[in-house]
Amino acid sequence: MSTTHDPTTPSAASVDRLTSTSFDEEVMASDRPVLVDFTASWCPPCEQQTPVLHALADEQAARLRIVEVDVDESPDLARRHQVLSAPTMVLYVDGRIALTLVGARGRGRLLEDLDPFLG
């Protein structure tokens, strides 16, 4: 059985990829918390984290925005956030860093870590 996308159905929330030029505008000025996933294409734990983050982007779209930054494409952002390993997730609330998580997390643990910051 194959499935097709119905264009009349709203699409799932997306996890946008940010760069140095879009980061401040997209993250610092957001009206809801933003989880920034610092990731890399060569990182196996990042590959495991990706489906968890995409699912949360759908489920928590009203309370949380999730974006990703490739550390190889934007090394300046990785340095700015002192990212030494991938994945590293940084939660911004009202333009300020509220939480930094290093390493992959399952859905339940990630929601538990984020919940105090999501209104």
Residues 6+ apart with CB under 8 A from 85: 102, 103
35 assigned to active site? no
18, 43, 67, 114: the catalytic one is 43
| Residue 106 near residue 52 (C-beta atoms within 8 A) | yes
The C-alpha atoms of residue 89 and residue 100 are separated, in whole angstroms, by: 6
18, 40, 46, 91: the catalytic one is 46
Q: Which has the closest alpha carbon to 80: 60, 98, 63, 97?
A: 97
46 assigned to active site? yes
Active site residues: 43, 46
